[in-house]
């Protein structure tokens, strides 16, 4: 049921989005194509923001394959300098952002070269490996046609054996309008559907029927890019974790958060050896006082995340996990209002100011202002964007006691304090509802 | 190597250094409850320190934000009131302006503050979000070619507030992304969250328990620009406590359960995730036995 809704929405989003796109561009008679596209991107962002607020079950442990078309069509210079080089440049940004926003996720790269698929990098959580591989792709010879099916099959083979609690995804970047496949591609698509692997396609040319069909069947997204800025936006929208797939087996995983305890004792940690380099002959383990200690068995490691070799506990750094929490608790969208609705400050000669950056609001630039429905504060457009895209915390909601902290405060509304909940292990559904009604 | 150093020094001389001080003015702080006089003393030190920052370079900028029990407000500069200085009196006037404005503003805030019936927490993480919005505006408006280095100095005698964990983390990651250094001067207890923030953003964390020496400490540790600090002998970085805060009780834990759907952290096993409402299929936690990597992965 929910899936049908989802599909309808996508269909709708794509079709109207496409039509509106061209309308908007035609309307702009000053020849300012860039500004029209910028507006489309801005609108798409807001739309995604609204959708984000509705989801609460996401696939946060992601295993994603990026499939890059490396056929002749990628040498077309409609994206500067060529489709391929533009793609690689944007992928660099994408990879950095992906690991920034998706801790304990993995990524792999597959290239579609002359009817074959080639795995450029295996699934791994280190950005460094992928960035290096991308450099190598810049000089690849672009010939012949790609085979979408071979690429999907290769990704499918690896993703099939990934732990079942992970979210499994494929993002295809297609330059070519055609695909040269060994057998009926529907067989592959059916398999992807069965496995619950979400496939999204970004087309650098025009709409390709089979790609759109693929994304519809696997609940992914489909987009054809207008220019490099639009491409960037489409690609970076894949940084956000997708809704959790039905096939995902969800589990609660026991993890350790290493930290040093010696601060309490007031003396330095003793010299010790790390476990990760014990068997490594190239870089042997060294005695030192730094490192991350497993809270269960005290084994030491140089880098996180890691699985403890002695006791099997998965060790992660807590702030690393925290980087992704804004996906779970997005700042609610602000209401767009005219400047006149901002109250004037009587003590400051009747000026109006932005609650965030303290800017004095003045006519042409600040014609529109943005109001948070929780803390009732007004923000300028720059702060609206900054708060929703970068900061992920509403200034008013976090500085005014009573609305402070949104989620925590809502837990307290029922007359319970946080401390009183200590023995309340299974919170009531109504409380959960409240947590997400924001 | 020398050329690199020289370039760095030159860059530091021409850049604009923006210092935003977030001052905890909550009357619940231990040192204020001991004697309200202490707050005046801290304020004097902050003003002197702010002026010392302005004195270092003509283009330097300063902002002071008060975080009290009921609101967060700018003490300096005050919006709307243009900082128009008569050039005749030169820089001296700028310094007395900081002092005058800060004291006047804080006076107004304390006068209008609701009475405090019981101690309450300072929403420091929130005040820092305001500081970031302000810095981000000033950085957007920097003239092409000019460079601005920004930092936030938090001065507080409050206790740790695990309830602000998420906001603190968002603040630290944003600061890190924008290259803003977070420094902290703790006046009472060691604050593990702010310590993490200093560590993440390459800032300095310092605990000063003697208010008498506060100005000296501020000048020694926090006056040098962060990009110059590696040359100085500063207190060694403390060991940072990177424990997680559980979603159920907001307590710092070192072993917990993580939901595979949303990465929420819980201190105890429970069959349902209270954040994303997922019902977990695996009946129990992973067996605590050494395993080959592949096998464990399959079991998860
Ligand atoms: Zn090691
Ligand atoms: Zn262990
Ligand atoms: Zn603003
Ligand atoms: Zn708000
Ligand atoms: Zn708990
Ligand atoms: Zn969950």
Residue B201: per-residue pLDDT: 93
A382: contact with B, CB 8 A cutoff: yes
Nearest CA in chain A to B174: A391
Q: Does B4 touch chain A (CB under 8 A)?
A: no
Question: What was the pLDDT predicted at B202?
Answer: 92
Closest CA to A424 of B230, B162, B267: B267
* pLDDT band, residue A355 (cuts 50/70/90): very high
pLDDT at A49 over 60: yes
Contact between A70 and A349 (Cβ < 8 Å):
no
The one-digit pLDDT tens for each residue of chain B (300 residues) are: 567 777 777 777 788 999 999 999 999 999 999 998 999 999 999 999 999 999 998 899 999 999 998 899 999 998 765 554 444 455 566 678 889 899 999 998 888 888 877 778 899 999 999 999 999 999 999 888 889 999 999 999 998 777 788 899 999 999 998 999 999 999 988 888 899 899 999 999 999 988 999 999 999 999 998 888 877 777 777 777 777 888 888 788 889 998 887 788 899 988 888 877 888 865 444 444 444 444 444 443
Contacts of A321 in chain B (CB under 8 A): 244, 258, 263, 265
Q: Is the pLDDT of residue A335 over 70?
A: yes
Place of tokens 């605990």: B207
B116 to chain A nearest CA, in Å?
13
Q: What is the pLDDT of residue B160?
A: 77
Helix A148-159 to helix A185-195 angle, to the nearest 10 degrees?
30
Whole-angstrom Cα distance, residue A108 to residue A122?
Answer: 5
Q: Does B224 touch chain A (CB under 8 A)?
A: no
Percentage of chain B modeled with pLDDT above 70 = 87
CB B190 within 8 A of CB B207: yes
Q: Which helix H or strand E contains A139, and what residues bound it?
A: none
pTM reported for the whole predicted model: 0.74
Q: Given this model, what pLDDT does residue A55 score?
A: 56
> Is the minimum CB–CB distance between B86 and chain A shorter than 8 Å?
no
Rg from Cα positions in chain A:
25
Report domain extents, chain B: 10-231, 243-300
- Which of chain A's residues have a Cβ under 8 Å away from the Cβ of B172? 319
From the CA of A196, how far away is ligand 5's center (Å)? 32
| Tens-place pLDDT, residues A274-293 | 776 666 555 566 666 677 88
Q: Residue B262 to residues A65, A387, A426: CA-CA distances in angstroms?
A: 21, 22, 18
Highest mean pLDDT among A125-139, A245-259, A324-338, B146-160: B146-160
Band (pLDDT 50/70/90 cuts) for residue A53 is low
Instruction: Tell me whether A402 touches chain B (CB under 8 Å).
Output: no
Question: Which tokens hold the place of A341?
Answer: 């609705």
- Residues B276, A318: C-beta atoms closer than 8 Å: no
What is the structure's pLDDT at A23?
43
Q: Inspect the interface and report whether the beta carbons of A326 and B129 lie closer than 8 Å.
A: no
Residue B6 C-alpha, separation from nearest chain A C-alpha, in angstroms: 31
B291 chain-A contacts, CB cut-off 8 A: 312
The class of domain A335-409 in CATH terms is alpha beta
Euclidean distance between CA atoms A349 and A343, whole angstroms: 12
Which residues between 49 and 78 in chain A have a beta carbon less than 8 angstroms from any beta carbon of chain B? Answer: 56-61
Of A61, A104, A398, the CB nearest to B125: A398
Longest pairwise C-alpha distance within chain B: 78
Q: Do A353 and B261 touch (CB under 8 A)?
A: no
pLDDT for position A54: 56
- Using DSSP's 3-state secondary structure scheme, residue B184 falls into strand
- Chain-chain contact of B256 with A405 (C-beta, under 8 angstroms): no
DSSP classification of residue A70: -
Determine, for residues A252 and B178 on separate chains, whether the beta-carbon distance falls below 8 Å.
no
**Helices then strands (H, E): number in chain B?**
9, 10
Assess B266–A contact: CB distance below 8 Å, yes or no.
Answer: yes
A382 C-alpha to center of ligand 3: Å? 6
* pLDDT score of B288: 47
Residues of A in contact with B266 (CB under 8 A): 252
Name the residue in chain A with its Cα closest to that of B127.
A399
Give me ligand 3 centre to Cα A360, in Å. Answer: 9
H or E element in which residue B18 lies: strand B16-24
CATH architecture of A61-236: 3-Layer(aba) Sandwich (3.40)
Indicate which of B174, B252, B254, B267 best probes the interface with A, i.e. most A CBs within 10 Å of its own CB: B254
A317/B126 Cβ within 8 A: no
CATH class of B10-231: alpha beta
CB contact under 8 A, A321 and B174: no
Given an 8 Å threshold on Cβ–Cβ distance, is B296 in contact with A312?
Answer: yes
Rounded to whole angstroms, how far apart are CA atoms B149 and B141? 13
Relative to beta strand B61-67, strand B16-24 is parallel
Distance A261 CA to ligand 6 centre (A): 29
Q: Do A335-409 and A61-236 have the same topology in CATH? A: no
Q: Is A299 helix (H, G, I), strand (E, B) or coil?
A: coil
- Residue list, CB under 5 A from ion ligand 5: B 246, 248-249, 267
Q: Is A434 near chain B, with CB under 8 Å? A: no
- Among A residues 144-183, those touching chain B with beta carbons less than 8 Å apart: 163, 165-166
What is the Cα–Cα distance from B73 to A50, expressed in whole angstroms? 31
Would an 8 Å CB–CB cutoff place B295 in contact with chain A?
Answer: no
Q: What pLDDT does A225 receive? A: 92
Contacts of A307 in chain B (CB under 8 A): 293, 296
Closest CA to A195 of A159, A163, A222, A170: A159
Q: What pLDDT sits at residue B21?
A: 98
For A396-412, what is the mean pLDDT? 64
Provide the residue ranges of all domains of chain A, joining segments of one domain with +.
61-236, 335-409
Which of the pair, A386 or B292, is modelled with greater confidence?
A386
Q: How far apart (Å, rounded) are the C-alpha atoms in residues B220 and B142?
A: 29
Give me ligand 2 centre to Cα A293, in Å.
8
Could you tell me if B70 lies within 8 Å of chain A, comparing CB atoms? yes
Distances (CA, A) of B53 to A401, B15, B17, B229: 32, 13, 9, 15
Mean per-residue pLDDT for A388-392?
A: 92
Q: Identify the closest residue of chain A to B167 by CA–CA distance.
A: A393
**B292 at A interface, C-beta within 8 A:** no
Number of Cβ within a 10 Å radius of residue A156: 18
Query: Given an 8 Å threshold on Cβ–Cβ distance, is B286 in contact with A269?
Result: no
Res. A322: pLDDT tops 70: yes
């Amino acid at each position: 049921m929910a899936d049908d809704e989802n599909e309808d929405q996508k269909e709708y989003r794509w079709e109207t989005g496409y039509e509106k796109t061209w309308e908007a561009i035609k309307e702009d008679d000053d020849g300012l194509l860039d500004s029209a596209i910028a507006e489309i991107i801005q609108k798409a962002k807001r739309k995604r923001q609204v959708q984000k607020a509705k989801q609460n079950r996401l696939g946060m442990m992601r295993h994603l394959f990026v499939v890059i078309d490396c056929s002749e069509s990628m040498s077309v210079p409609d994206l500067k300098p060529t489709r391929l080089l533009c793609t690689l440049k944007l992928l660099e940004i994408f990879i950095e952002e992906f690991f920034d926003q998706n801790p304990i996720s993995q990524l792999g790269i597959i290239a579609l070269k002359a009817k074959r698929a080639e795995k450029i990098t295996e699934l791994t959580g280190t950005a460094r490996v992928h960035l290096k591989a991308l450099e190598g792709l810049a000089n690849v010879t672009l010939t012949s046609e790609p085979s979408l099916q071979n690429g999907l099959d290769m990704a499918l083979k690896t993703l099939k054996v990934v732990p079942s609690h992970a979210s499994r995804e494929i993002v295809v970047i297609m330059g070519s309008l055609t695909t040269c496949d060994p057998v009926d591609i529907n067989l592959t698509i059916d398999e992807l559907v069965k496995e619950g692997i979400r496939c999204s396609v970004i087309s650098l040319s025009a709409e390709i029927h089979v790609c759109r069909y693929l994304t519809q069947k696997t609940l992914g997204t489909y987009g054809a890019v207008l220019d490099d800025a639009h491409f960037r936006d489409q690609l970076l929208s894949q940084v956000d974790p997708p809704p959790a797939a039905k096939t995902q087996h969800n589990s609660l995983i026991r993890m350790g958060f290493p930290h040093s305890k010696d601060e309490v004792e007031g003396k330095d940690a003793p010299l010790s050896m790390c476990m990760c380099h014990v068997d490594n002959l190239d870089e042997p383990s060294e005695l030192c006082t730094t490192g991350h200690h497993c809270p269960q068995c005290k084994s030491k490691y140089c880098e996180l995340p890691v699985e403890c070799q002695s006791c099997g506990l998965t060790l992660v750094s807590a702030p690393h996990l925290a980087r992704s929490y804004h996906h779970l608790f997005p700042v609610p969208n602000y209401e767009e209002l005219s400047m006149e609705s901002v109250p004037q400050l009587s003590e400051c000669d009747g000026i109006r100011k932005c609650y965030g950056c303290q800017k004095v609001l003045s006519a042409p630039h600040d014609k529109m202002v943005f109001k948070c429905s929780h803390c009732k504060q007004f923000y300028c457009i720059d702060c609206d964007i900054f708060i929703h895209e970068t900061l992920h915390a509403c200034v008013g909601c976090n500085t005014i006691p009573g609305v402070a902290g949104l989620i925590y405060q809502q837990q307290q509304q029922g007359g319970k304090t946080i401390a009183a909940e200590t023995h309340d292990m299974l919170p009531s559904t109504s409380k959960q509802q409240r947590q997400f009604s924001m | 190597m020398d050329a690199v150093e020289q370039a760095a020094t030159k860059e530091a001389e021409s850049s604009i250094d923006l210092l935003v001080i977030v001052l905890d003015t909550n009357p619940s702080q231990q040192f204020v409850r001991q004697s309200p006089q202490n707050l005046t003393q801290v304020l004097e030190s902050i003003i002197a320190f702010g002026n010392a920052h302005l004195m270092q370079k003509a283009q330097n900028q300063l902002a002071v934000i008060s975080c009290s029990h009921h609101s967060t407000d700018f003490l300096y500069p005050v919006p709307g009131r243009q900082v128009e200085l008569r050039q005749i009196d030169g820089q001296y006037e700028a310094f007395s302006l900081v002092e005058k404005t800060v004291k006047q503003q804080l006076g107004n805030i304390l006068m209008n503050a609701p009475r405090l019936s019981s101690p309450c927490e300072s929403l420091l993480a929130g005040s820092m979000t305001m500081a970031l919005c302000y810095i981000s505006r000033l950085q957007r408006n920097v003239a092409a070619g000019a460079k601005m280095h920004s930092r936030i100095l938090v001065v507080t005698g409050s206790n740790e507030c695990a309830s602000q964990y998420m906001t603190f983390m968002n603040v630290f990651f944003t600061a890190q992304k924008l290259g803003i250094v977070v420094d902290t001067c703790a006046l009472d207890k060691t604050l593990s969250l702010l310590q993490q923030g200093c560590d993440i953003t390459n800032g300095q964390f310092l605990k000063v328990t003697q208010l008498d020496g506060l100005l000296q400490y501020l000048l020694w540790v926090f006056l040098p620009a962060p990009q110059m600090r590696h040359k100085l002998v500063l207190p060694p970085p403390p060991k940072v406590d990177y424990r997680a805060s559980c979603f159920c009780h907001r307590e710092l834990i070192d072993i917990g359960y993580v939901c595979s759907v949303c990465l929420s952290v819980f201190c105890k096993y429970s069959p349902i995730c209270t954040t994303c409402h997922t019902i977990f299929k695996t009946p129990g936690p992973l067996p605590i036995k050494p395993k080959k990597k592949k096998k464990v992965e399959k079991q998860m």
